[in-house]
Structure 1
Amino acid sequence: MPVLPQYSPDLVTRQMCATAHLDAEFAREVLEEYTVDRVQSVGLPFGVNLVALVRHALLSTRRRDERDRQLLSLQGLFVLLMLAAVGALGQGQSGVAGGLCVAALAVLPVGTVVVFRTEWAVRQSVLDLKDSGLSAQRLAPAADPALEQELKGLRSANMVVYGLDAESQNPFVGSGWRITESVWSPFDVSKPAQAPGGGTLTPVPFTAADLHHHLAKAMPRATGLDELRARNRLYVRGPNVASLGTDALPDPTRRPLASIPSRLVKSGAVHSGAGMETYLCLWVSGDGGRVLVSMHLKALLHLPVLSWEVAAYVLPPLGPRFKLPAAYAASESRLRWGAVRVAVRLTGRGVLGAASRLLRRRSRAAERARTVERVRREILKGYRGHDYGSANSLRERAAHWDEMGYSERRDAQKYFKLMVQGVLACTAEFLESRNIDTADLTHQQQQIVSLQTYTFNGAIGQVQAGNQNQLNVNQGGQPQAPVGGGAGAGVPAPGGPAGAVAPAGLT
């Protein structure tokens, strides 16, 4: 049977990398989040190849800086020639003044060439991301090895520091829009299982950490989702991370680590700390990573009963800002001609505004550095209440609820239901391996499976637990957006409506 065409597995990464070339502000946002000196933690990747994204953002920024340095030289030459022309005219040398003016105007075509080269390079990078069989990461020069190693480490992070801005909603910063947040009805785990030959078996003691570990290993098989990923993570309140000491914060004037000793994560599953708890995080993405569903589980073991805290979220597809203009489906000659038109239109502003653009960028970087240094001085003076936490993730800010189409809503529901059933099946499997009777779990399982559901006609509404564990779904509109959710989804790429090729711009 023939295989139908599929989305590229790194579709979302490619879309974000392309936008980094087309949108200078987005490229700067990426670099400010992941490369500059900070005292704040960052959100998790959530299906985005951060190494590739940062590489393309660096390439985009370097390309614009190089363009403006060249244009700055032309601007200086233009100004000198015009001043010389004015001086010659003041001395009555009108012929010399006219020649100098012509020479000054001749600078502008050179500026057109400089702008065109940048515009065409942008289009080539976007076309490579759109059509090349190479991975997005290989389509841009490598960044600093230490930086790339740090970015790769975020994929396997086992500690997340959440900010006070996000605390009022949930600690799972960057996970997206809520599907459900609930605690399942507890069930008895104190009765021994029946032995095959009669009598009872001897129960084997266990901890919540043991149960977390079992589910992390067994959930892909139980759900049938080979792409499902699992990770135990310690979620820590921003001002409280310093209390973990150097294991989490080796330098109080730097951002916290993303990975900490596993003993701390395991301890957080058994006994919660002050503003810190361990959750088993499960996540799975749809085709191309367009939609991502995550579930955060915490085993609530209070003998003789066990229950699960369950929080599930969905990250919608990227917003309009990340849609490639339709003209990129045109021939290469049309794209090249479009770059020429843009270069001609931007030449004047490009040459005459080069100095102001470079100064504006340096001023912005200097202001950011001063802000960070001010925070560091406060920390070194003994101020212990600094909030090291993040409020969201780059992927969450780029998501847009209105992009949730039928297939995305269907996939979100499918993944959620498979995870619910998988958690119940794996819990039963674990208890049986510990010689514990699962009759009460079986009774509760029927209720949970039948009631832990929602309708997805239209947007997935806010889900709230009501009487008898009933989930009430608000179908009146989109669910409440998380902190910063969709804030960076934006409008179609700069330069006009979708369908027009966006210029690299002069920002």
Structure 2
Amino acid sequence: MTTIYGPPAQARPVHDRFFAHAEPGRGADGGPGGVTRDLCAAAYLDEGFAAAATDEVLGDRRRAVVPAIGYDLVLVLRHCLRARRLWLARDASLVLLLVVAYAAHRQATLTALTFAVYAATPALVRALRRRGTAVRHVIVAAAAFVFLAPMALSLAGILPLLAALGSDDPERQYAAFAELAAADPKAALAAAVVIAVALFAVCAAFRATMLATRLDADGPRAGSPAAEHRLAVVGGAQNGNVVLHSGYSPFPGAGPVVRAWSIALELRADLDAGGGAGPVPIDPVQLNRHVKRRLAALQSPALPERERVAGLALRDQIVASGTRWHGYALVDQQRQLPYSLAGPHAVEAVIRHPQAGARHFLRATVGADSAPVRGAHGETLLAAEDQGKVLSSFVHIAVEGGMLYVESVTTVLGPVRARFRAFERYGDSPGALAAAALGAAIRDAGPAVLLAPWRLARAGAGAVRAWRRADRADREHDREPLYDYGARADVRQLASRPEPASYVQALDAEKYAKLLERRISEAVVGFLREHRVDTAEYETRINHIHNESVTIHGDNHGAVAAGTGARAAAKERS
């Protein structure tokens, strides 16, 4: 789907038809499948992702939202909220079971925790290896953890008994001797096994509940009216075209910058084409629209299906820093919320005023879709695949002081991490689901049992911090003249690789970057020629940028060097 004049979102006029809040709805280019499904699955496979996504978007009700490209942000957040509730319920269940078991049989509970320590050793080794620790350090740390932790747990059960035996209280000593006499190693071991199996069953049950979640529905309820209200705001903002960013980068969620170039050109008349004297007046709005139409032609129905650029989307974006004084036009002062949609008149006004604090970019995005391979008679040989990567080209065009300025910044966001696509392997097979739940429980039961008390305490402390942070944000917003409304990250970027997953994907990113840049340059040159502007200087510079070459007109009698690090020296001949 190619969007020519902005995202298909309806606006409620708020600020004299210039800026508005987009109406709630699904993602413009996303649905319940593809990237949306992978991000929903990530919430149930990685507790850290679910926490980071909800904290980023729902943690501050005034924070701007990055427009979602190719996925439905609201559906992802609904599953993140449900996943966090399930993670919390699992930890609470484990802690409650440990408390009850410890009250019933202390030594058996400590023995069960010893089993958990041994089960957690592979996870410890994997964590240390991911952080780049040397192999011998991993072995030493794992061995120390394996052998010292069970000893500490055993001492935790014996020391109170030894203290009772050394006491001067006869009743306490008698109780300690009675406990020693009643101790049955076989019964204690059997009780420990029962407790360990119960803990494992809790982990497996919650893992099966998570993996059995249907990701193609409308999503679960948020759980609170405040969260539902915020999700309604997010549902509109994800289809918007206004981006208030926090920090240095004006392209949150687009990935790292891989290519960037800019050209400044004097708008002189082309005397050979019959132009007059003085600078040629150029309307930057008309030039932007011309570039947009030429980019949209890459997916024109007039082209054969095999030649169309699949997954191309075009949209206007108004970008501005999110740290603003009260009364800023892009922030609704009544609702204390950034506007998410700029109307056509506002977009044109920003394009014509390039020195303003807000800047216009034409964003051309080539998504993860690919075209199918068809035979001579239309039969499908290879189905279309989801490549996962997203390439974005941000084009800024400005006319100032009788000069034209063209800027292009290309970013690439890698595919969603492979481990978040595990749901695709389960399908609707109960056997595959049960096997996956058991495998995950075997892998995660040890760390889950040992870390459950800490995670439960952390969740409680996090809830308190979130409440205090919201209260502090309200006070800072009312007291301080400046407030940071900007978005800091995009949910898709939190779950994606920072680079392409393979060399072929890197080559594809390079290909589409050059296709877009070439079409942008040709569109600018064609528009300038139509308005009788001398384009010789522009063509020379753009040829050097695209091809890293030099065009020489006429004879050359000296040394020539081109490209990074190139050298040339002239030698005299006798």
Asked if 1:450 corresponds to 2:543, the answer is yes
Asked whether the 8 Å contact 1:176–1:313 carries over to 2, the reply is: yes
Counterpart for residue 213 of structure 1:
289
- Where 1:182 maps in the other structure, the secondary structure is strand
- Where 2:51 maps in the other structure, the secondary structure is helix
Asked whether the 8 Å contact 1:39–1:372 carries over to 2, the reply is: no
Superposed, which structure 2 residues align to 1:194-273 within 5 Å? 207-222=283-298, 224-225=308-309, 227-240=311-324, 242-245=326-329, 247-250=330-333, 256-273=338-355
Q: How far does residue 17 in structure 1 lie from its aligned partner after superposition? A: 2.7
Counterpart for residue 407 of structure 2:
309
Asked whether the 8 Å contact 1:162–1:171 carries over to 2, the reply is: yes
User: What amino acid is aligned across from residue 485 of structure 2 in structure 1?
Assistant: Y
Going from structure 1 to structure 2, the CA distance change for 1:145 and 1:243 (only over 3 Å counts) comes to closer
Equivalenced residue count is 428
Which residue, 494, 508, 514 being the options, matches 1:417? Answer: 514
Counterpart for residue 66 of structure 2:
43
Asked whether the 8 Å contact 2:53–2:494 carries over to 1, the reply is: no
Q: Which runs of 5+ in 1 are unaligned?
A: 1-7, 129-135, 456-467, 475-507
RMSD in angstroms over aligned alpha carbons? 4.7
For 1:291 and 1:352, locate their aligned partners in 2 and report how far apart those are by CA, in whole Å. Answer: 37
Counterpart for residue 380 of structure 2:
none
User: What amino acid is aligned across from residue 62 of structure 1 in structure 2?
Assistant: R
Q: How far does residue 172 in structure 1 lie from its aligned partner after superposition? A: 2.3
Asked if 1:284 corresponds to 2:392, the answer is no
- Where 1:138 maps in the other structure, the secondary structure is coil
Asked if 1:387 corresponds to 2:484, the answer is yes
Q: How far does residue 248 in structure 1 lie from its aligned partner after superposition? A: 2.0
Counterpart for residue 132 of structure 2:
none
Which residue, 475, 479, 486 being the options, matches 1:377? Answer: 475
Asked if 1:161 corresponds to 2:244, the answer is yes
Superposed, which structure 2 residues align to 1:70-469 within 5 Å? 70-82=93-105, 109-125=197-213, 136-138=215-217, 140-141=219-220, 143=222, 146-164=229-247, 166=248, 170-186=249-265, 188=267, 207-222=283-298, 224-225=308-309, 227-240=311-324, 242-245=326-329, 247-250=330-333, 256-287=338-369, 288=386, 290-302=388-400, 304-319=402-417, 322=420, 324=422, 333=431, 336-337=434-435, 339-340=437-438, 343=441, 354=452, 356-381=454-479, 383-401=480-498, 403-427=500-524, 430=527, 436-437=531-532, 440-441=534-535, 443=536, 446-447=539-540, 450-453=543-546
Q: How far does residue 380 in structure 1 lie from its aligned partner after superposition? A: 1.5
For 2:364 and 2:424, locate their aligned partners in 1 and report how far apart those are by CA, in whole Å. Answer: 36
Going from structure 1 to structure 2, the CA distance change for 1:192 and 1:154 (only over 3 Å counts) comes to farther
User: What amino acid is aligned across from residue 89 of structure 2 in structure 1?
Assistant: E
Asked whether the 8 Å contact 1:222–1:425 carries over to 2, the reply is: no
Going from structure 1 to structure 2, the CA distance change for 1:396 and 1:338 (only over 3 Å counts) comes to closer
Q: How far does residue 148 in structure 1 lie from its aligned partner after superposition? A: 4.2
Asked whether the 8 Å contact 1:242–1:249 carries over to 2, the reply is: no
Going from structure 1 to structure 2, the CA distance change for 1:173 and 1:333 (only over 3 Å counts) comes to closer
For 2:541 and 2:36, locate their aligned partners in 1 and report how far apart those are by CA, in whole Å. Answer: 36
User: What amino acid is aligned across from residue 486 of structure 2 in structure 1?
Assistant: G
User: What amino acid is aligned across from residue 73 of structure 2 in structure 1?
Assistant: L
Q: How far does residue 28 in structure 1 lie from its aligned partner after superposition? A: 0.9
User: What amino acid is aligned across from residue 68 of structure 1 in structure 2?
Assistant: D
Going from structure 1 to structure 2, the CA distance change for 1:275 and 1:241 (only over 3 Å counts) comes to farther
Q: How far does residue 188 in structure 1 lie from its aligned partner after superposition? A: 3.1
Q: How far does residue 117 in structure 1 lie from its aligned partner after superposition? A: 1.3
Going from structure 1 to structure 2, the CA distance change for 1:54 and 1:194 (only over 3 Å counts) comes to same
For 1:358 and 1:326, locate their aligned partners in 2 and report how far apart those are by CA, in whole Å. Answer: 30
Going from structure 1 to structure 2, the CA distance change for 1:454 and 1:157 (only over 3 Å counts) comes to farther
User: What amino acid is aligned across from residue 118 of structure 1 in structure 2?
Assistant: F
Asked whether the 8 Å contact 2:40–2:76 carries over to 1, the reply is: yes
Residue by residue over 1:330-359, the C-alpha shift from the partner in whole angstroms, topping out at 9 and shown as x without a partner, is: x86466346346547866876786554323
Residue by residue over 1:61-108, the C-alpha shift from the partner in whole angstroms, topping out at 9 and shown as x without a partner, is: 22223333444543453355459x99996897999999x989998666
Structure with the greater alpha carbon radius of gyration: 2
Q: How far does residue 428 in structure 1 lie from its aligned partner after superposition? A: 5.2
Q: How far does residue 25 in structure 1 lie from its aligned partner after superposition? A: 0.9
For 2:100 and 2:181, locate their aligned partners in 1 and report how far apart those are by CA, in whole Å. Answer: 20
- Where 2:483 maps in the other structure, the secondary structure is coil
Going from structure 1 to structure 2, the CA distance change for 1:192 and 1:301 (only over 3 Å counts) comes to farther
For 1:74 and 1:220, locate their aligned partners in 2 and report how far apart those are by CA, in whole Å. Answer: 60
- Where 2:474 maps in the other structure, the secondary structure is helix
- Where 2:257 maps in the other structure, the secondary structure is strand
TM-score, normalised relative to structure 1: 0.68
For 2:493 and 2:434, locate their aligned partners in 1 and report how far apart those are by CA, in whole Å. Answer: 34
Q: How far does residue 411 in structure 1 lie from its aligned partner after superposition? A: 1.9
Asked whether the 8 Å contact 1:161–1:241 carries over to 2, the reply is: no
Asked whether the 8 Å contact 1:285–1:292 carries over to 2, the reply is: yes
For 1:82 and 1:111, locate their aligned partners in 2 and report how far apart those are by CA, in whole Å. Answer: 15
Q: Which runs of 5+ in 2 are unaligned?
A: 1-30, 109-160, 162-171, 300-307, 370-385, 549-559, 567-574
For 1:397 and 1:352, locate their aligned partners in 2 and report how far apart those are by CA, in whole Å. Answer: 27
Asked whether the 8 Å contact 2:61–2:230 carries over to 1, the reply is: no
Asked whether the 8 Å contact 1:190–1:303 carries over to 2, the reply is: no
For 2:325 and 2:395, locate their aligned partners in 1 and report how far apart those are by CA, in whole Å. Answer: 21
Asked whether the 8 Å contact 1:298–1:308 carries over to 2, the reply is: yes
